[in-house]
Every structure is written in C-alpha cells, then in structure tokens.
Structure 1
Amino acid sequence: MDKHERSIYFFIVILPAILAIIGCYHFLADRANEQQREKLEWVATIHRNQMDQFINETKVGMDILAVTIEEELQSLDKAAAAQKVQVTLKKMAGKDPRYGGIYILDFEGSLLSGTNDLLKQYNLRNKPYIKDALLTKDTAVSDEVETLSNNQPVIAIAAPVMKDEHVEAILVSHIRLDYMKNIMRMLTPEYSISIENAKQIPIFSVNEKLAADEDEQAAKYPLAQLPWNLVISTNDSEQNSLLPLTAMFGAAIFMLLHILFLLVKYVMLKRQTKFERMQQEAQKLELIGTLAAGTAHEIRNPLTGIKGLVQLLNEKYDHPEDELYFTVIDKEINRINQIVSEFLILGKPTAQTMQTVDIREILFDLNPLIRSEANLYSIQYELTLPEQEIWVHINMDQMKQVLLNLTKNAFEAMRKEGQVNVIILMGEEHCHIAISDNGPGIKKEDLEFIFKPFFTSKEDGTGLGLVVCKRIIESFGGTIEIESEFGFGTVVNITLPLYSHQSAE
C-alpha cells in the first residue's frame, strides 16, 4: 500500500470509523442517561407519594389525638386527665408500629405523660420543632434525627393542644426511623434514598452503600408535605453495557467502511487501467505515426514506379491470363497505398486546412458516389437532410473520407436488398449524423474492440478504418459512437459542434 492509498484508507476507513464509534457511544450514553433519569423519576414518584402520605397520615393522627387530649383535659381534673391521656397514648402507640413513643408536654416543655420514660429527665422547650409548634400553633416536624437513650433514632413531630385559642400543652410523637427505612428499602431495594432538609443537610439515608462516588446517578425532588428534598441515587449505571454495543457497532462500521474502501479502490484501479489502456493506445498510434512518417514516402515512391511499370507491362502483354495477374497486382498496390494513407492519418496530428462549411454540401457532393455504391451492392439508400443550413468547422476531404468509409462498411456488411439510411439533424449546439443499416449487426463482445487498431471482422480488412474515422472526428471536436444489436442492424452516430458554439469557446 503506497502513500496515496494509505491516505485514502485513513480518510475512508480510519477517520469515519473513529467518528462513528464516538458518535455511537455518545448517542447510547445519552439514551442510557435519559432512561436512567426516567427510572429515577419513577422511583422518586413512588417514595415522594409514600413519604407525603406517611407524613400526612401522621399529622392527621396527631391532630386527632390533640383534639382528644384537649377534651380530656377540660372534662377531668389533672390527675385523672393525665392517667386518661397516658392510656390513650399507649393505646394509639400500640396500634401503629411507626411510633417509637408519644408524649404530652406542658407549655414549658416538661413531660406530663407518655408511653415510656425516655423523655422524663429532658426539657424540650428549646427544640426547634417545639418552638415552631408554639409559634405557628400548627404541627411541626423536626429537621434532624434524634437518638434516644435506648439508641433508637427517631424523627419528632410536635402538635399543639389548644384551649381557647391558647396552647395548653404540646403533643410529641417519635417516628421510628428504622420503620421508615424499611418501607423505603422494601419498595426499591436497588436504589439509594436520602432525605435532606431545606438547608441541604442530610436527615437520614437508605441503602447508602449502593451509591458509588464515580458512577453515582442522582436526582433530587422536593416533598409536598414538608420542606424536605428526596434524593434518589444509584450506581446501577448502564455505561458498562454500552461498551459491548459500541464495540459491535464499531466492528460493523469498520467492515462496511472496508467494503467501501475496496469499492473505491476497485473504481480507482478500473480508472487507472482505463487510463493506462488509453495511454497504450496512444503510444500505439504514436508508434504507428512515427513509423508512417518515416516510411510513407519511401513506400509510396517505389509503389508509384511499380504501378507505372505494371501498367506498361499490361499494355504489352494483353493475354487474358496475364490480364488477371495484372489486375490482382494493381489491386494489391492500391491496397498498400490505402494502408499507408491510413497510417499517415493515425500518426501525430499535422496542420490541416479547416473550413467552415454547410455539412449538407458534403452530402450533396457524396450522394452520387454513395448511391452508385449502393446500386453496386443492390442496397436501398436514402438520404434525409434538414432545410436549414448547418455550419461546421471541419476539413472537407477528411469528412468525406469518414462518410465514404462508414457507408462502405454498411454496404459490405449488408445482404442484398438491405437498406442504408443517412440522416442529419440539427440541435442547439451540435449537429447529429446517423448512418443506420438493417444488416447482421455486431456481436456484443466485439463492440468494445471496434475502435482498436488492427481489429477487424473482414477477411481483407486492415482494422484501421474505424480508428481513422474516430481520429478525424475527434480532431474536429466531435464524437463517434456505434450502437448495434447482433441480428438487428447497426447505427453509427456522429456529433459535431456547430460553428457558432465552437468559435465562442
């Protein structure tokens, strides 16, 4: 592989493959992240609804309990009321496992009664949630986890007990943190869940070991009932699964690009082969021209002498048997002279006299010769010319030679009672000459060789006639093409530029 091929290989295979693999990886990564976000939103919705419902149920229960306690405090004396309240608190705490303890405090924050004695030696007056409940006269939730003397982590909820629009007492319940965690862990065991307050300080978390530092996918969602944020995270990333998919895609792309590279290389080799073939043909023609230029005159001069002597001998020996020999000799001398003339045309282009003529005039001049040739072969011949003038810039003699050669080929290829048509059409920039016959046609495998030097299907042909015609037409800036189907005739199409367009260029 040379330097040029390596460059093509890099720009067709290596560079596009790298870009495609990178693009595929980013596409799959974005899609995986989007799917992960959707999963996190789904998990967040579950826990947010569950947490909001849990807090709402707890607050409703505390409000109902506060109303009950308020009625008990109004109807009984303090001792009986305290005993009645304690029974009510224990009864409620026993029915719901979420409670770690329920307590009734006085206005100063000291314990009056409760389901246990864990707060007996404590005054909760300065707790933020107690102050919020006294200030707002509404249920307040703690922003941090409290650990009781029995090592039980809880979250406190305070509800004021009102009497005549004044806070008579404070109802405090401890929500067991392990109970809340178990619910969350049961709902989504593969995700890490954290609860943080409005200051983004973590309150508690569940499955925190599942979240890794580097691969953590996290999303934050606010709760409706509390000024808390629900943080959902997981290390169940799909990034690792992208590598096999990307590798498979890269392998497929690499194979396709290799196929494309091979196709491009094939086209380039085909073009190079065609170019080299054209160069070889040009070299052949140049060699023929060089040989013809050096030997044409040396061949023609003795031929002229030989032809003259043969004519003298023909006049001297007029025996019928000798006449046959002289005819053959004269025919072969003419054939040699024709071959030499074709060699000269095939050689290097020489200065030729170009004229601007009406192409119809050439056909008018040649029409008697072509028609007599058609009569000789018993062929029907028809010429169709347009009424308007068609001016082209050509060499008249060479153009006549082309037309005579092509019509003669058609006559020689025809069977008797065949037909040859010559039609001239005028286009916008070119004129078109079509010479068609209904002869046997040309085999498909021979069509690509008909303009090759020395290729002929005739027994006595030189294989230079069509090459000479092509050379002449191309020297006029035109083209010549042959269409044929074996058994259905042949059409020769010649295109010549009109004089006005040629001069403008």
Structure 2
Amino acid sequence: MKIRHKFKTYLLIVILPLFILSIIYWLHLENSIQKERQEQAEWAGSVYQEYIDQVIGETKKKLELLSLSSSVLYMEDEKTEHLMEWIKDTDPRYAGVYWISMDGVSLSGTNKNLYHYYLIEQDDINRAIVTQRAAVAEGKALNNSGFNYFSIFAPILDHEKKAHGFLLAHIRLDHMEKILNILIPDQTLKLETSDHIQILSINAESTTRDSKWVEIPLTEVDWTLSVKKPDTLNTNTMNAFFMFVFFIFFFTHMVYTFVEELLVRREEKKQKALIEKQKIDFVGTLAASTAHEIKNPLTGIKGLIQLLVEKHTEEQDQFYYSVIMKEIERINSIVSEFLILGKPMARKLTTYDVRSIIAELRPIIESEARHFKMEVAWNVVKEPIWVRCTKDQLKQIILNTAKNGFEAMKDGELLSIRIYHENGHAKIDIIDIGQGLNEKDIDKVFEPFYTSKKEGTGLGLFVCKRIIESFDGTIELASKPLIGTTVTISLPLLTNHP
C-alpha cells in the first residue's frame, strides 16, 4: 500500500507535469521555430527580390536610354554592331545584345549565330508598342554557348514615337546565380514565370516533397520568387528541448522529494501523537485505577488520624498529627490529578462572573503569598465578565498557577494578577518575575510528566490545559530567563448573561 501511494505521488508530481509541460514547451518551440524560419525565408526572399528587381529595372532603363540614341544608327550595320558590342561589354550580366526588327527577328548583334532568329514573340512586340516602354520577354529561356538567360527589350522610336525596331539584351542567369549565392549562401530558391516555367534554381537538390516555400512576387515582372524555409528541426532545437526536459525533471524531483519529506514528517508526527495519546490513555487508565485504590484507604487513614487528633491533645502529638495531615492532603492532591488524567473531562458547565471567582480566591492567594513572603497586585475590571466553566476547577487552576509563580520568585517579589476582556474573550494573566524558562522548555511545560521541580509530578499544567480546553478556552505561557513568566488563561466571553 505504501509503495502504491509513493507511485501515485510520483506520477502526480513528476511524470504528469513533466509530460504535460514537455508537450506545451515542444508546441511553443515548434511554433517559435516555424515563425523564425518564416521570417528568415521572407528576409532572404526580400534580399533576392531587391537584387532581381534591380537587375531588371536597371536593364530596362539602360535599354530605354540607349534606344533613343540608337534610332540614328538604324540600317548602318557596322556602327550597329559596334554599338551592340559596346553595350555588352559595359555590363557582365549581358550574354548578348541585339537589334531586332518589327517582326521580332534579330538583324544584328553580338552573336552572329542568332542572326535572323525570332527572339521576341508577337504578344511581347504588341505589348511594347502599346506601352512604348522596355519589357521582359515572356518566352521560354534560351540556351546559348552554355549561358542560361532571359530577354529584356526596348522599342526604338523615331521622332514621331513610332517603333521601327527593338534593342534586346540577354541577361545571364549564371551570373545572377553567383551573385545570389554570395548575398546569402546555402539558401534554396527558384524563380518561375507566370506560366510556371522555371528559369532559375539554386540548391534545388536539397528540396523534398515536404519542403515548405515562401513565395515573393517581383515588382518589375510578373514572376514569382520562391524561397525554401530552413528545416524546422536542428541540433540547437533538440538541445533546447532536452535542456528544458532535464530542468523540469530536476525541478519536479526536488518538489517530489520535498513533498515526500513533508509527508514523512507528517506521518511521523501523527504516529508520535498517536503513541503519546496511547501512552497517556494507558497511563491515565492505570493511574485512575491505582488512584481509586489509594484514595479509599487514604480516606480511612485520614479519618483515623482525625480521631487521634481529638484523643491526644498534647502539643507534641498535635504537631505530628498536623504533619501527617498535610502529607495526606498532598497525597490526596496528587491522586486527584491522576484521576483527572485518567478520565475525560465532564462538560457540566455553569455561567459565572470571573470577578466572583477571583473574589473567593483572593483571601486564599493572599494567604499563600504571606506564607511565601510575597506580594500580590490585583488589577480587575469593574464590569462583569461572564464565562461558562466549572467553578471549582477554574479556582484550582488559578490557585495552582499562582502557587507556581510564588515558588519561582524570591522573598519580597511581586506577583501580578490581571482580569480583563479582549476580542470577545475573558483573560486572566498571572505574572511572576521569577527565573523564567528557556525557549526550548516552554513547549514542554504542558506535556505530561514534564517538571522542573524536585517534588513535582509533571501533571499540574497538563491537567490545567485539559480542563481549560474542556471550557473551549486556551492556556498559554510566555517566559524569558531571569525576567519572569506570564500565564494567560483565555475563555469565551458571554455577551448574553443572566
């Protein structure tokens, strides 16, 4: 049963929190990683987009500017070829530059192998004539001399802004690929036309069917740039996850150890309390039965001594008899404490004014004070203080407590007794200025059989506590060495009294 209880505790404190928190953290980590990968791919795509748009935009502006000056060279083959070569040499991105007729056929250019080829489709020609601006050819990418390229062309306009030809440049994709690799190494991307024709790809071998892409449209042309998101699971991610799991496992184990320690201590405390109760019950039962056996012959002895007192009136005999009677009374007091220890407190309570009980006790306490050569100071409120108790038992508690105070002080010192009410409770403070107690001994004074007196039984304060608790009250002790001790009896105050 104990092993089963420990397993359930371990499951609740260690296993379940570890499992739940690990799942929550993993989902949070996965979400953060996906967001980070998305942002990283978008950032890389923005860099690539800026470069590609820049290349296309710059080429368009350059061709438009050159087309204005190229109209004067129309049909002058030699000058045209020199111009094409010069344009090509000004930028390493150009694979070739060509003069195109209105039909889209190359008339001259930097590569004679492409003379008289259709390099522009009719749809592109019509679009350029209408807009009178440079455009990107939407035809398929061509391959020439190992160069992959795409075409950008601008209409050559006369003074009446009528097109009579086109200036076309082939942009080298291999050169663009090198630049893109330099900008962000090891990134995977692909560039597709609006017809889903792929004209450029980098690190395509690293893609799989599960690869995720971020698509970024270009502003200069109706193409789509796709950038692959980096893998979501890497060593750093797993290290972070395992570190978190280890920390949670370590923390929950600490909590489990702490809880187990508390449970063990609580169980030990319960066991100790149970053992103490059993011990007190056993001793009480034994004491009660023994006390009854002692009390009966003690009553007979006391009666016989009283007869002898009456019969033998000599002073010496009277002295001996008085000593015997005092010892019998002492034995009777001890036996009475054992009887209280052995039986439960009877709750036959009556309503009393604490001041009336104190008034009855005052002569007895002052007599005890004269016997011990002490002084007593009284501080009693004027208004009635009503409580429910057993008068004789409360008188005995106050008297015993006052007597303890006398025994703790030296000749001529003062015992203070204060009667008042506070926070709905009647309070009785009995204050001495004796030797006091150490802090470690204060908690023991109400334990049975604990005493600091040579002739004490250790039952006095224990019995007092049981009686006061039967009145629904409390008795507390505050003490400091060489300063004194304060015993405070607190009983519920009755607001509705006779």
Q: TM-score if structure 2 supplies the norm length? A: 0.91
The answer to whether the 8 A contact 1:434-1:493 is kept is yes
Choose 283-292 or 446-455, whichever is displaced more: 283-292
Amino acid at match of 2:67: A
**Is the Cα–Cα contact under 8 Å of residues 145 and 153 in structure 1 kept in the other structure?**
no
Structure 2 match to 1:285: 280
Aligned to 2:71: 70
Deviation at 1:11, TM superposition (A): 1.9
Distance 1:148 1:237 in 2: 37
Conserved? CA contact 1:146–1:155, under 8 Å:
yes
Query: Does residue 416 in structure 1 map to residue 408 in structure 2?
Result: no
Name the counterpart of 2:453: 458
- Change over 3 Å in CA distance of 1:380–1:6 after alignment to 2: farther
Q: Quick check: 59-68 or 310-319, which moved more?
A: 310-319
Deviation at 1:93, TM superposition (A): 0.9
- Report the Cα offset of residue 149 of structure 1: 4.8
Select which of 338, 341, 344 maps to 2:336: 341
Contact between 2:147 and 2:172, CA under 8 Å: does it hold in 1?
Answer: yes
The amino acid of 1:359's aligned partner reads V
Taking a change above 3 Å as real, the CA distance of residues 209 and 5 of structure 1, as seen in their structure-2 partners, is same
Aligned partner of 1:116 in structure 2 is 111
Shift of 1:474: 0.6
Note the C-alpha offset of 1:461.
Answer: 0.6
Structure-2 residue corresponding to 1:23: 24
In structure 2, the partner of 1:354 is 349
Residues 370-410 of structure 1, C-alpha deviations (whole Å, 9 max, x = no match)? 12212222222222222332221111111111111111111
2:480 equivalent in structure 1? 485
1:178-199 deviations in Å (ceiling 9; x for gaps): 0111110111112112223346
1:223–1:321: structure 2 CA closer, same or farther, 3 Å change rule? farther
Matched position secondary structure for 2:112: coil
Give the CA deviation at 1:362: 1.3
**Deviations for 1:30-80, whole angstroms, at most 9, x for unmatched residues?**
44444444433432332222222211111111112211221222xxxx3xx
Contact 2:41/2:230 (<8 A) preserved: no
Instruction: Provide the TM-score with structure 1 as the length reference.
Output: 0.89
Report SS of the residue matched to 1:468. Answer: helix
Checking the alignment, whether the CA contact within 8 Å between 2:134 and 2:155 is kept in structure 1 is yes
Shift of 1:439: 0.9
2:171 pairs, out of 154, 166, 175, with 175
Residues 1:207 and 2:208 are matched in the alignment: no
Residues 183 and 358 (structure 1), Cα distance of their counterparts in 2 relative to 1, 3 Å cut = same
The residue type equivalent to 1:484 in the other structure is: S
8 Å contact 1:144–1:203 — kept in the other structure? no
Does residue 377 of structure 1 match 2:378?
A: no
Contact 2:415 2:430 (8 Å CA) reproduced: yes
Q: Would you say the 8 A contact 1:211–1:235 is kept in 2? A: no
* CA gap 1:325/1:143 in 2 versus in 1, 3 angstroms: farther
Matches of 2:208 and 2:182, distance apart in 1: 21
Instruction: Kindly state the Cα deviation for residue 124 of structure 1 after the two structures are TM-superposed.
Output: 4.1
* Contact preservation (8 Å) 2:153, 2:166: yes
User: RMSD between aligned alpha carbons?
Assistant: 2.7
**SS state at 2:185 partner:** coil
Residue pair 1:443, 1:485 contacting (<8 A) in 2 also: yes
Residue in 1 that maps onto 2:8? 7
Counterpart amino acid of residue 188 in structure 2: S
1:245 aligned residue: 240
* Structure 1 counterpart SS, 2:348: coil
Q: How many correspondences in the alignment?
A: 495
2:120–2:139 contact (8 Å) kept in structure 1: no
8 Å CA contact 1:346–1:468 kept in 2: the answer is: yes
Summarize deviations over 1:291-333 as a string: whole Å, max 9, x none.
3554444322211111222344455567777666545543332
C-alpha contact 1:380 1:420 (8 A) present in aligned 2:
yes
SS in 1 for 2:472: coil
Q: State which of 246, 251, 258 in structure 2 corresponds to 1:256.
A: 251
Q: Output the amino acid matched with 2:185.
A: P
**C-alpha distance 441-235 of structure 1, shift in aligned 2 (>3 A):** same
- Letter aligned with residue 132 of structure 2: K
Change (3 A) 1:430 1:286: same
% identical equivalent positions? 38
C-alpha distance in structure 2 between counterparts of 1:189 and 1:174, whole Å: 25
Residues 181 and 451 of structure 1: CA distance in aligned 2, closer, same or farther (over 3 Å): same
User: The residue matched to 2:214 in structure 1 has which SS?
Assistant: strand
What is the SS of the residue equivalent to 1:454?
coil
- Counterparts in 2 of 1:288-367, with a 5 A limit? 288-313=283-308, 326-367=321-362
Secondary structure, counterpart of 2:373 in structure 1: coil
Does structure 2 conserve the Cα–Cα contact (< 8 Å) formed by 1:210 and 1:234? Answer: no
1:103 aligns with 2:98: yes
Q: Structure 1 residues 7, 429: CA separation in 2 closer, same or farther (over 3 Å shift)? A: farther
2:469 aligns with one of 471, 474, 479: 474
Residue-by-residue CA offset, 1:255-281 (whole Å, 9 max, x unaligned): 222222222222222232333333233
Gaps of 5+ in 1: none
Decide whether the 8 Å contact of 2:345 with 2:466 is kept in 1. no
* Preserved contact between residue 118 and residue 149 of structure 1 (Cα < 8 Å): no
Please, which moves more after superposition, 464-473 or 125-134?
125-134
Check whether the contact 2:101–2:166 (CA below 8 A) recurs between aligned residues: yes
Report the alpha carbon displacement of residue 500 of structure 1 after superposing the two structures with TM. 4.2
Aligned counterparts of 1:125 and 1:276: Cα–Cα separation in 2 = 99
Q: Does residue 1:40 correspond to 2:36, yes or no?
A: no
**Offset at residue 494 of structure 1 (A):** 2.0
For the 8 Å contact 2:347–2:470, the answer to whether it is kept is: no
Pairwise CA distance, 1:127: 5.5
Q: How many Å separate the matches in 1 of 2:140 and 2:426?
A: 99
Residues 501 and 262 (structure 1), Cα distance of their counterparts in 2 relative to 1, 3 Å cut: farther
Mapped contact 1:358–1:389 kept (Cα < 8 A): yes
| Distance in 1 of aligned mates of 2:198 and 2:487 | 92
User: What residue number does 1:439 align with?
Assistant: 434
Amino acid of the structure 2 residue aligned with 1:142:
A
**Quick one: structure 1 residues 184 and 144, their matched pair in 2 at CA, closer, same or farther if it must change by over 3 Å?**
farther
* C-alpha deviation, 1:452, in angstroms: 1.2
CA-to-aligned-CA distance 1:171-218 (integer Å, 9 cap, x gap): 22111110111110111112112223346654321122344555x564
> Cα gap change, 1:143/1:501 in structure 2, threshold over 3 Å: closer, same or farther?
farther
Deviation at 1:470, TM superposition (A): 0.5
Tell me the secondary structure at the aligned position of residue 307 of structure 1.
Answer: helix
Q: 1:196 aligns with which of 177, 181, 192?
A: 192
Mark the CA change 1:127 to 1:108 in structure 2 (over 3 Å): closer, same or farther: closer
- What's the secondary structure of 2:250's corresponding residue? helix
Matched letter for residue 64 of structure 1: L
The equivalent residue for 2:136 is 141
SS in 1 for 2:445: coil
Displacement, 1:102?
1.3
State the SS of the aligned residue for 1:254: helix
1:417–1:38 Cα change, 3 Å: farther
- Structure 1 residues 145, 333: CA separation in 2 closer, same or farther (over 3 Å shift)? farther
* Aligned match for 2:82, one of 83, 87, 110: 87
Relative to structure 1, the CA distance from residue 194 to residue 313 in structure 2 (aligned partners, 3 Å threshold; closer, same or farther) is same
**1:448 is the counterpart of 2:449:** no
The equivalent residue for 1:233 is 228
